[in-house]
Every structure is written in C-alpha cells, then in structure tokens.
Amino acid sequence: MPIQWFPGHMNKAKKQIAETMAKVDMVIEVLDARLPRITTNPLIHELRIARQRPSLKVLNKADLADPNVTAAWVRTYKADANSAVLTLDEAGKTRDAHKLLALCRELVPHRTGGEKPVRAMILGVPNVGKSTLINALSRRKIAKVADTPGVTQSQQRIELVDGTILVDTPGMMWPKIESDNAGLKLALSGTIGKNAFDAEEVAWYALGWLAKFYPTVIATRYKLKDLEAHPDELFETAARSLGCVQSGNRIDGQKAAERILTDFRGGVLGRVSLERPDDALDMQLDEPTPDETPEA
C-alpha cells in the first residue's frame, strides 16, 4: 500500500508559508543528508522559485550519511544557481551556526543589517532537525524538539543575536507522494508519522535495500549469511538474531521491525545514504515487494 501522510494542520501551514514567503529575503531548506532530494518538498520548491528567493540547503544529519555520497550531493547543489549548501551534524550545530548565518548574508548581500536585517524562512519536512538547528542558532531552547514528526504546528518569529530574523514553520509534507520507494524511505528515516505506515513493511524493505547497497553492515548486525535471500527470509533471520521471538518459536514481527527502524535512525547500522544524485527518483529494487510471491 502506498504511504501517504498529510495531517490537517499541514494544509493550514501551506497557506501560511505561501503568504510569508513574500515577506522574507531567502529560504533555509533543511534536508536529511541521507535522502536530500526525497526530503525536498516540491511545494516549497515551487513557492521559492515563483518568488525568486535564494536558498541555503542545509544537509542535516550528515553524521548519519555516507560521507562520499554527501560529498557528491554538495557538488550537485553547489552547481545550482541562486543557492548555497552546508552540511551539519548533531555535534557541530552550535559550532557551525556562524557559517550558516554567514552564508545567508552572502546570498542576500543587499540586506546589510541594522535596519535591514536578513529575513529568512526555515523550512523542511517533519523530523528533519529544524527545531534542533533553530535552538543552536538562537543559543537557547526556543523550539520544541522530539523524535516524533509533526511537533511544530505553527509559525514563530525569532530574532537572533546578530539581528537575523528567522521565521520557523511547521514541518510540511506534500499531499501525495508519487513514488512508493520514496514513501518507504521517508518512513524509514522517521519523516512519516508512525500511524501512516506498516513498520514491518518498511523494515522488510530496508533489509532488502541495505542487503543490496550496504551488505556488510546488516550482515554483521543481524547475523545474515545469505544476503541474496528473499527479504522475508532476511527479516526472519534478523528478528531471531535480535531475540524477537514469541512462544511457539514464532518471530515477533512488530517488535523486530521497530528494532530495525530504531537501528537505522540512530546510526547503529553506520553511515548510510538512501539515495545518490544520479539515482532515478523512483529507483526500484530488483527484489519483489512484500505482497508478491517470489518465483520458484
């Protein structure tokens, strides 16, 4: 089943963002470094282009992403006109805050400070790390931080020490995720609300994808010997290696799925990127999907 998630408050947020975009000088787009293109909201992109607002793309959670792949994304975004790019990780947010603000000033040099401060709108999909970044920039806990997507549900205006004005916005999805693979990866990364997807389906997909692109990390973590096995076999082996077994020697699929998703999101599986700049947006796995029967 395709994954879709667009809570009611996001429709209101979309209208507010469109109105506020006219009143700011630039946009700070916070993206997940593990899947930057997939976490680029097309609605935000269209609004920004229509208003001709420059963009600073912040590749957040870079410490969880494959560094070689992140370097390729940086090269790609540097080639974009009217934009800049910065990578951030959890440990470096406060340290690198001055770099982010300096890049903002470079993008809008006509805003000279004082009576003409830089006015920036900070945008991103849910749970991409906007609130943590805002707290680092403001040097105080001004935005709510949680592992659950959709915590911020209204805009707020924040004036930083250097005079920069930030407009914080709710994390916003778009009404329809066209690619099933993109939906699964968004769910895997923690962007989608947990009630909108089946954890076992996402974990099943994750193991099949990781077996193809990062085989060593899951072979070690989940004691997998045959990485070419069908993903449902990979899932059962992983579940047993994690001790997720019920009475009757049956696996506890829900518990195993939650453990696998937690492992990925917490970096237990190492530095993994879910897409590369030269990937097709709807790149398919060679493996069948969970509800298909593998050929004999």
pLDDT, tens only, 177-228: 888 999 999 999 999 988 889 999 999 999 999 999 999 999 999 999 999 9
**Range of weakest confidence among 31-35, 96-100, 147-151, 162-166:** 147-151
**Mean pLDDT confidence for 248-270:** 95
State whether 141 and 221 are in the same domain.
Answer: no
108 assigned to some structural domain: yes
* Residue 110 included in any domain: yes
pLDDT at 296: 30
Instruction: Examine the domain organization and report whether 126 and 248 are in the same domain.
Output: no
Asked whether residue 1 is assigned to any structural domain, the reply reads no
Same domain, 64 and 134: yes
Residues 50 and 244: their CA atoms lie apart, in Å, by 51
Structural domain harbouring 223: 198-265
CATH of the domain at 251: 1.10.1580.10
d(CA 233, CA 1): 21
Taking alpha carbons only, the member of 225, 226, 223 closest to residue 239 is: 223
Q: Which two tokens stand for residue 272?
A: 């993994």
Both 120 and 29 in one domain: the answer is: yes
Asked if residue 164 and residue 18 are part of one domain, the reply reads: yes
* 62-66: long-range pairs with CB below 8 Å, 24+: 62/33, 62/87, 62/88, 62/89, 63/89, 63/90, 63/91, 63/267, 63/271, 64/33, 64/34, 64/89, 64/267, 64/271, 64/272, 65/33, 65/34, 65/271, 65/272, 65/273, 66/34, 66/271, 66/272, 66/273
pLDDT at 295: 35
- Alpha-carbon distance of 274 to 61, in angstroms, equals 13
Backbone angles phi, psi at 119, to 5 degrees: -115, 110
Together in a domain, 16 and 163? yes
